[in-house]
A and B are shown apart, each in its own frame.
Chain A
């Protein structure tokens, strides 16, 4: 090769090498931050003002009922019924969509996804706007709403609505994959449609149902926004709201917060372990290689009644919160009704005129885009090192990063946020209060999503093409860029969209980490609702929801983002 050719080849390699270097350093930062955060969280819980190492915080948390046991009990009191309710509701809807001739059944997914796309705390605020005395319900129907705006029942309802999507997706996938021969046989044997459902379909769907229960349970345990807005006003505290209170109300009690965070983290990890066992044990049972089509259950004379019931409920649940937020975002004042005479666009104009809100919008877009790009880059690096390198320390490091990202994704946002505060306020790297800490938090929380989807896709790609590339004289990086990345494209798009959406919606870690200059839209909206500025909070919510929907549509348009948000 001539000297000029060599120079050209090196130069052509530079951007790629830079990208690889960036990916490697991102993975290193991810690992280091996880280790440091975990260590600081552990240390904080074993620290008292009097001594560096002390069991005092632990003892205090365990002996004062209101500290730990009360909130833990409340969290469980929510998680168990919501997991069951959401699984029943989501499962039933999935059955209607996949196995019945319900009119427009395939649109059910969109209707179930909408309350999940709206962040939990905004759904909670919409609930208050709808059902409080003098709220939208009363304005429309003329009588007080028969539904409580705050408290236990409200939280259960809003969480069920918010999390129904997971059971829906899991059960729908299961129903589509299940072997139809068993149901056919039952039907031929003369069982009624209802009996087939109870005796055959449900037992076949058991793995999906169990997975749903566990997944929803985990999400309820870590949910912060909904109990914070609907529970705290009636004195109903969960582990998450208690951690938030201890870490944000002076005098700060970070030791006690850390002890509670251990517990919350431990619960998340146990549930994760149970999920993995469940998947490992039962994956194959529901799959069938045959491409036979399912016979659809004809609802017959019930068809239109079912349509009215299902669609009425689902549409009301999906659209009412959105309408309430939209309506309140237009109000110019309180106590004069909700008519068009009292509408104004001032809250939306505020987004252009207020420095804070402009900054929040900019931060949100940049953070979401940045964390999506970094998480995807990390995912490619991790998947390639773990799957394509010969066994060795580098490959093991890749596997480790894979596991770490997975665990970090399973951990509640408040736990991650608290660990990052402890690790990065003061000390040698005072990132607290900057957007960089939020970026780190989002990458930590969501790179697990990217790693999952990219790793799964990479595992499906045979290595012959890469071998061919190598034979043709392409360098390793070049094989990666020219052959592997194009094949990974659907997973990369999916990862970008998912992380972007999750980052826009993130409030658990953000509530602890955002500060002057690093506000996000979600944070500003949360603060507005908390201090009672429902009009501005609702307007910010509408903008956020629009942003998320636009991203989803973009993802669909790019053609491959198959699932909706995961957080």
Chain B
């Protein structure tokens, strides 16, 4: 029942947004990709996107393109990158596409010539994280925010700065930037900002902050009341596991931290046509609507923002400096291990 209504929404959205003539031209290209993809049999994506989203896309894709199996390797950005590194060094890359929270990683992959330059028509509707040579583009925009549980004492939290207050001693949790790519960007933005810097993290440490591995664990800890507040992403509030919990999203007074997370196709994809087909599918209005329903800002400008959150243009933002984050990656990682371990 739930699935059917979800599919109905998606198909409705797709029909409303489709432009007939363009769609036909695209359809021809898609039909050709589909025919080849069916022979390849499957497509494998390496990603840090939560599995419930992947499952929805998988279902949707199965309906639209039967005969092409979708498989994914899902883990934190760090683990996925480690896998790409090890496999490509071994010459046995098993993935066709890569989709991660951390855009800095993509520059490295471009330098190592791991990605394919590919600009399908869907690119026209996307403005963020567009690589000028066509190697990657934003597939979604994650938004770093505060998650609070008023029942556990997080009611008054309005800003990042609030987390260092003595009243929240032992009640805050964050994720490790060594494991979570989105946390690496959030923390990197705060490290660079003179209002915060490492001083902020040392204060958090003094406030007995709990460093969990990944952002969903922060959501779990806040939703269950284990902690009063944490730094995580907007999307968790929309997950069925947390939807009915007392946990709330707080867009921090200093600004929320948006991360356009890039999507790319591997140059040596073992299933090249299926890779392109799935890439275009993920950037289609139907697949992007799935994102908005899950509390994630879609990359397409023609698909509306998640329910209950302001339009992307209206969102007060603290913009990450990806170049700075990448340049200081090693130092910050070492510093992190010194302060927090991991």
Q: What 7 new A-B contacts, CB under 8 Å, besides A235-B342, A335-B244, A433-B94? A: A134-B224, A149-B226, A237-B342, A249-B78, A252-B86, A332-B241, A433-B87
Q: State in angstroms the CA–CA spacing of A239 and B259 once bound together.
A: 34
Q: Nearest Cβ distance between residue A49 and chain B, in whole angstroms? A: 12
B122-176 residues with Cβ-Cβ distance < 8 A to A are 149, 151-152, 173, 176
Residue of B nearest to A531 (CB): B214
Residue of B44, B83, B342 ringed by the most chain A CB atoms within 10 A = B342
Asked whether any CB of chain A lies closer than 8 Å to the CB of B321, the reply is no
Checking B214, B216, B223, B338 against A335 with a beta-carbon cut-off of 8 angstroms, the contacting residue is B223
User: Chain A residue with minimal CB distance to B86?
Assistant: A425
Residues of the A chain whose Cβ atoms lie less than 8 Å from the Cβ of B244: 333, 335-336
| Chain A residues whose C-beta falls within 8 Å of the C-beta of B218 in the assembled complex | 532
* Residue pair A530, B214 in contact (C-beta under 8 Å): yes
Find the residue from A135, A426, A532 having the highest chain B CB count within 10 A: A532
Are the C-beta atoms of A333 and B240 separated by less than 8 Å? yes
Is the CB–CB distance between B217 and A530 below 8 Å? Answer: yes
Report Cα–Cα, A517/B81, bound state, in Å: 17
Inter-chain contact B85/A250, CB cutoff 8 Å: yes
5 A-B pairs with least C-beta separation: A532-B217, A134-B225, A335-B245, A516-B73, A334-B223
Within 8 Å of chain A (Cβ to Cβ): is B219?
yes
Contact check, A516 vs B217: say whether CB atoms are below 8 A apart: no
Do A530 and B213 touch (CB < 8 A)?
A: yes
Alpha-carbon separation in the docked complex, A533 to B83 (Å): 22
Chain B minimum-CB-distance residue to A355: B71
Choose one: A354, A355, A421, A532; the contact of B216 (CB below 8 Å): A532
Would B176 and A232 count as touching, CB distance under 8 A? yes
B207 within 8 A of A: no
Residues B82 and A252 in contact, CB atoms below 8 Å apart: yes
Known: A132-B224, A516-B73. A235 touches B78 (CB 8 A): no
Nearest CB in chain B to that of A66: its residue = B338
Q: Is B89 an interface residue (CB 8 A)?
A: yes
A245 in contact with B216 (CB, 8 Å)? no
If A426-B89, A430-B91, A433-B87 touch, does A132 touch B214 (CB 8 Å cutoff)? no
A534 within 8 A of B: yes
**With A426-B91, A432-B87: A250-B211 Cβ-Cβ less than 8 Å:** no
A563 within 8 A of B: no
A547 to B306 Cα, complex, angstroms:
43
The answer on a CB contact under 8 Å between B211 and A233 is yes
Contact A531 B210 (CB under 8 A): no
- Which A residues from 227 to 267 make CB contacts under 8 A with B? 231-237, 241-242, 245, 248-252
A interface residues, Cβ below 8 angstroms from B: 64, 66-67, 70, 132-135, 149-150, 231-237, 241-242, 245, 248-252, 332-336, 354-355, 421, 425-427, 430, 432-433, 515-517, 527, 530-535
| Contact between chains at B217 and A134 (CB < 8 Å) | no
Q: How far is the CA of A64 from the CA of B105 in the complex (A)?
A: 26
Q: Assuming A249-B82, A333-B241, A334-B220, is B92 touching A432 (CB within 8 A)?
A: yes
Q: Once bound together, how far apart are the Cα atoms of A133 and B92, in whole Å?
A: 45
Q: Are A516 and B71 in contact (CB under 8 A)?
A: yes
> B116: shortest Cβ distance to chain A, in Å?
20
Q: Is the CB of A232 within 8 A of B225?
A: no
- For residue A334, which residues in chain B have a CB less than 8 angstroms away from its CB? 220, 223-224, 241-242, 245, 247
Cβ–Cβ contact A235 & B340, under 8 A: yes
Q: Flag if B44 contacts A516 (CB, 8 Å).
A: yes
CB-defined contacts of B339 to chain A, threshold 8 Å: 235
Q: Which of A64, A66, A242, A334 has the most CB of B within 10 A?
A: A334
Asked if B240 contacts A531 (CB within 8 A), the reply is: no
A residues less than 8 Å from B338 (CB atoms): 66
Does B304 sit within 8 A of A, measured CB to CB? no
B38 touches A (CB below 8 Å): no
B210/A335 in contact, CB under 8 A: no
> Is the Cβ of A430 less than 8 Å from the Cβ of B225?
no
Query: Which B96-123 residues have C-beta < 8 A from chain A?
Result: 105
Q: Pick 15 A–B contacts, CB within 8 A, sort by A.
A: A66-B337, A70-B341, A134-B225, A232-B342, A233-B213, A235-B341, A245-B342, A250-B81, A332-B240, A333-B242, A336-B245, A425-B89, A515-B94, A516-B46, A527-B75
Q: Is the CB of A515 within 8 A of B83?
A: yes
User: Given known contacts A66-B337, A236-B341, A245-B178, is B245 in contact with A333 (CB within 8 Å)?
Assistant: yes
Q: Counting CB contacts under 8 A, is B333 at the interface?
A: yes
Find out whether the CB atom of A250 lies under 8 angstroms from the CB atom of B82.
Answer: yes
Query: Looking at A133, A335, A533, A535, which has the most chain B CB atoms within 10 Å of its CB?
Result: A335
